[in-house]
Amino acid sequence: MLNTPYLLAIPVLLVIYSLCGYILRRPRQTLSYPPGPKGLPIIGSFFDMLTPRTEHDAQWAIYRDMGNMYRSDVLHIDILGDHTVVLNSAKAAEELLERRSGIYSSRPTMHMANESGWGFNFGTMPYTSWWRLHRRTFHQYFRSDAIAAYHPCIRQATSRLLRSLSSIQSTTMVTQYDDLHTIVRQHAASIILYITYGISEQEDIDAFVELVNNAAESINATINRGSFMVDYFPLLRYVPAWFPGAHFKRKALHWSQFTSELVNKPWKQLRASISSGTALSCFGTKCLQKLDLTFNAADATEDTSDLGVSKTDSDTRIEEVIRNCAGTAYIAGSDTSVSLVIISVLVLSHHPEIQAKAQEELDRVLGSATQLPDFSDRGNLPYVEAVFKELMRMYPSVPLGVTHYSVADDVYEGYFIPKGTTVVGNAWAILHDENLYPDPLTFNPDRFLRTEPQRGAPPAKHSLNPDPELYAFGFGRRSCPGKHLALDTSWLVLACLLATCNITRISSDSTEPDSKEIDPIAHFTDGAVLHPKPFKCCITPRSAGAFELMKSGYEV
C-alpha cells in the first residue's frame, strides 16, 4: 500500500510542472493574443475544462458562440500557458493553414490518443520526415486519379448494401437504426478491407467490422486534443491505473487493446495469405512488393524515389510504415463514410420534396427503374451532386477537423500566435458562415446549382457558396488523403438510394415539432466524427422495378 507522502507527491509535482510550463511557455512579446476568455492568472481557463457539459454542448457550437460573443473569427484560449487558437472563418483558415502551411502543418502531441494506442495513425503524427514517408506511401494509392481502379469494388459493395436493405423491406416497413448502422458499416468496411488488405470473405469482414466498432469509440473520444486532462498535464501518463481519479488511465488501457487488434490482426492475416500464396492484389501487397523489389532483389532496378527512402533503410522500418498506413485507412475508411451515409438517410427523411426533385432528375437521365446510377452518370446529375454537397456542408463528418500546431511565432492581423499553439480549424462554423452560405441553417441544395446570368446582367463580383469539400476534409498539407475514396463511396450510395427508394421519417415522439430542419446539436452525438443519434425511418422501394434493381444491384 502506497504511503501518504507518496500520494501527496503527485499533486505537488503536477502543480510544480504547471508553474514551470507556464513560465517556460509564456512568450516575451508586446502584441496581444486574439480575443477570448481571459481566465485566471497562471491557470487561465483551466476550470472551464472541468465544467460538466450537457448533451447539447457540441464543441464546434461552443467555439462558434464564443466567436459571436467576442465578435472575432479568431479566438484564443489559454490553459496553464498552453495556447489554443480557434479559426471560425474560411479567411483565417485559408491564410494560416493553407498559405502559411510551413508554420501550421504539424500536430500537437495527443497524449490520450497515444496512450490509447493511436500512435500508429499518421493523421495525428507531427510534421516530420517520418510523417512525410507515411503520407507519400499512402498518397500514391489513394490520390484522385487512383480511385477509379477501386470503382468495381465500390459497385460490388453497394450492390450488397442494396440487397441487405431489400431483405429488410421484405419483412418489415420500418428500418431500425441499429439495422441501418450495421448495413452501412458492413458496406464501408468491406470496401476498405478489400482495397487495403485484400480481405473479401464475409466471415473475415464480419470479424474485422467488430474490431472497428470496438476501436471507433476511443479515436472519437481522444482525437480532439483537450478532451482529457492528460493532454495538458503529460505527467499524468505516469500515474498508475489503480490510482484514485485515474479513470482516464483505465480507459486508455482498455481502448489500447482494441487499437492493437485493429492495426495488427488484419496485417497478420495479410502476411499469412502472402506466405500461403493466396493474397489478393491490394494496397498492402503492392507496397510490400515494391519493398521486396527495392531492398531484397539483387538486380532491382525499380525507381523508389516515390517512397522517399534510401537503400540503407531497414526493411522492418518501412514495413511498419506500410502497416501504419493500412491501419489508418482501415479506421478512417470505416467511420467517416458511415457518418455521411447515415446522415444522408436522416436528412432525406425530413425532406421528401428534395428526394422527389432528385428522383425526377435520375429518372430523366437513367429511365425509371431501368438501371442504377454509375460514376459515368455523375456529370449528368447536377441536382444529385448539389444534394451531396449540401449534405457535406450542413453536416460535415469531422466538424472540427484534426488540430494543427504552430512551429514558430506568428502574427495574424495584429494578433500574436506563439510557437507551440494548438490551432483548430472549425469546419462546422465555416460551412455555416452566412457570408459564404446565405441562410446557412436551411438545407438547400439549390445553392450549389449553376445558374446562367440574365441577358445584360453584369458579371458577379464574387461567387458565393464555395465547394464544401474545400473545408470539410481539413486544410493545407494535413487535409484528409483518403477523401477521394470517401467521396466516391458515399456519392454512389446516395445516388442509388435516391434512384430506388423513398425515405420517410417516423417520429418517435408525438410531441416532436413537425420541422423539416434537423438540430445539428440535439440530433447528433458530440465527438471527433459526427454521428446521428438513433432514429427511425422507412426505406421503401419506389416501385416493383426499383425493388428488383435493389436485389440485383450492378451484378446483372
What residue type is 352 in one-letter code?
A: P
What residue type is 238 in one-letter code?
A: Y
Could you tell me the CA-to-CA distances from 535 to 179, 503, 515 in Å, in that order? 11, 13, 15
| CA 272 from centre of chain | 30
Reduced to 3 states (helix: H, G, I; strand: E, B; else coil), residue 80 is coil
Buried (b) or exposed (e) across 446-467, using 16+ Cβ within 10 A? ebbeeeeeeeeeeeeeeeebee
Could you tell me the CA-to-CA distances from 92 to 4, 37, 277, 410, 517 in Å, in that order? 51, 19, 52, 13, 29
User: What is the Cα–Cα distance from 321 to 364, expressed in whole angstroms?
Assistant: 48
User: What is the Cα–Cα distance from 114 to 367, expressed in whole angstroms?
Assistant: 52
Does residue 93 contact residue 67 with C-beta atoms inside 8 Å? no
**480 marked ligand binding residue:** yes
Helix (H) or strand (E) holding 282, with range, is none
Q: Sheet harboring 82-87: ordered strands across?
A: 74-79, 82-87, 422-425, 404-405
- DSSP annotation of 98 reads I
Sign of CA dihedral 345, 351, 357, 363: positive
Cβ-defined contacts of 378-386 (< 8 Å, 24+): 378/491, 378/495, 381/495, 382/449, 382/450, 383/357, 383/358, 383/445, 383/449, 384/358, 384/494, 384/495, 384/498, 385/448, 385/491, 386/445, 386/446, 386/447, 386/448, 386/449
- DSSP annotation of 441 reads T
Reduced to 3 states (helix: H, G, I; strand: E, B; else coil), residue 520 is coil
Which parts are annotated binding residues for heme? 480
Binding residues: 480
